[in-house]
Amino acid sequence: MAAMAQDHPIFTESIRRIRVALGPTDLELLQQQVLERLVHSSGDLALGALLRFSPGACEAGLTALQQGAPILTDTAMAAAAVAPMAKRTLQTTVRTVLEWAPDQAPLGSTRTAAGMEQAWRELSAVGPAPLVLIGSAPTALEVLLEQVAAGALSPSLVIGMPVGFVGVAESKRHLAESGLAQIRLEGSRGGAGLVAAAVNALLRAAAG
């Protein structure tokens, strides 16, 4: 495990100001740290009203990371945003479903969804269950939920924050109903930067 470098003074001051602007919350420590990182990465204080945690979600993600669980993302952008923190902290493996995606999208589906289907078949068969980050592809989230419902291994944690207006609200609702350990944003907001910010908060805490 690599030692965490001291935070830059600008980052420290930013978090202090975010904490003041947010005011008192009912969040636990890890949940608060996730929220602060989301606001820091987006500049959007309104995210606090949209953020949802299943019971014990942050602790489940933290434990999985400390036990060597990999991180699986839906986009290369999310993977690129997580990789530096993963390297600085736990040397966590970061992969994207696009490694398994076909060159052409199957009829009626997407490359990301097809990649998730194949990736989960392989990754769930070995080692600790990955943490799954969905910031752009609700179709990939739906495929993951379908596979788990059919008996596949459950992810250690799902950070479900797909952004957009087509299939997004439905996929988030299905995630909420799944019973999986999860951190999600309600509504249409989300994106690669936000899922990366959430897991980076857990990586920092896990490196402790």
Cα–Cα distance, 199 to 38 (Å, whole number): 10
Q: Is 89 helix (H, G, I), strand (E, B) or coil?
A: coil
Active-site position among 19, 40, 88, 174: 40
**For this structure, is 40 an active site residue?**
yes
**107 CB contacts (<8 Å, ≥6 apart)?**
none
Contact indicator for 142, 150 with CB cutoff of 8 Å: no
Burial class for 191, CB neighbours closer than 10 Å (0-12, 13-18, 19+):
buried
What are the catalytic residues? 40
